[in-house]
Amino acid sequence: MPEISTNDVVALRKATGAGMMDAKRALADAGGDLEKAKDLLRERGLADARKRSTRVTTQGAIGHYLHYQADRPVIGVLVELAAETDFVAKSPDFQQAARDLAMHVAAARPRWVRREDIPEDILAHEKELIAAQARNEGKPDKVVDKIVEGRLRVFYEEHVLYDQPFVNPEKFQGTVGEMVNGLAGSMGENILVRRFARIGVGEPIT
């Protein structure tokens, strides 16, 4: 994999409005070629995401999913997928995406939609635990911060909806965030997951 510099990522984000991780992944897939990375972001519907993200989303759909076991539902999920217009919200692709997201939440059990939704105290505690673990493993202090950053990515993938790989790779290969941004790009609207609720029979109440 080519070395991707921070300056290249910043330049690509400035040119396309794509998110940091989307820009970095596009550069890696393009072998570090900035122009090819721009084309990849456009193909994936991720260019101009920043411009769309400021537009108001007052429409949407509720995706739902019930997981059955022995002929009875044991997991129920509701997901609010938001859009700008009723026209997009009622489209078959949008409605299917809402259902797919509910199925994903049932299987992957995220705790938050985005990284910024994580309470500061929980994130700080996680960082402290990772740092302490690294020091107990004998890692020098000068590399502890990098280790924390790397292991936090695993934490995000486990608990943050947008960072999780979508559970059905036959339908979409990538993270949920990329899936939602791709839908937004193809439909030309600001589309986002506003919230979700997951209830499992017998699971602890949190």
> Do 74 and 169 lie in a common domain?
yes
> Do 103 and 166 lie in a common domain?
yes
CATH number for the domain harbouring residue 42: 1.10.8.10
Domain of residue 194 covers 53-114+160-200
pTM: 0.72
What's the pLDDT at 110? 97
What's the pLDDT at 98? 97
> Do 153 and 164 lie in a common domain?
no
- Identity of the amino acid at 42: R
Contacting residues for 33 by C-beta, under 8 A, at least 6 apart: 27
| Cβ pair 190, 84 in contact under 8 A | yes
What's the pLDDT at 48? 63
Most distant CA pair in the chain, distance = 57
What's the pLDDT at 113? 97
CA distances (Å), origin 185, targets 24, 51, 97, 113: 18, 11, 14, 19
- For residues 99 and 63, give the distance between their C-alpha atoms in angstroms, rounded to a whole number: 4
What angle is formed at CA 179 by the lines to CA 174 and CA 183, rounded to 5 degrees? 150
- The reply to whether 34 falls in a domain is yes
- The rounded average pLDDT for each run of 10 residues, N- to C-terminus, in the chain (206 residues) is 76 72 84 88 70 72 90 87 91 95 96 96 93 86 85 94 95 91 82 94 80
- For residues 22 and 8, give the distance between their C-alpha atoms in angstroms, rounded to a whole number: 13
- For residues 1 and 149, give the distance between their C-alpha atoms in angstroms, rounded to a whole number: 20
- The reply to whether 205 falls in a domain is no
> Do 57 and 109 lie in a common domain?
yes
Residue 145 phi, psi (nearest 5) = -60, -40
